[in-house]
Amino acid sequence: MLARLPLPYSAAFLAGRAFLRYRRAGGLRSSPLPDFYIGAHAQTENLTLLTRDAGRYRNYFPSVNLVTPRESSRGHASPA
């Protein structure tokens, strides 16, 4: 069963800081801010994240456990 968790204030603050860092580094405004909310939420709640965009999450949220299609297909998925 999947459940939608509320976004903690600490995650929203972290997402804003990460997005600002991204924009200052030349990131496009068109990049979706929700990706940063998702990464920050995963980091603050110690959640595992399933993604095809591992580079961004590893760069801005390095402590998040990731499961990616490439890792899964080789049998080396990050532990849950």
Measure the CA dihedral 1/40/56/78, to 10°: -50
Number of residues written out for the chain:
80
Quote the pLDDT of residue 71: 63
pLDDT of 42 higher than 90: yes
Which of the residue ranges 6-10, 27-31, 45-49 would you say has the lowest mean pLDDT? 27-31
What value does the mean pLDDT take over residues 55-65?
A: 94
**Residue 1 tokens, joined:** 């069963």
What pTM value is reported for the model?
0.76
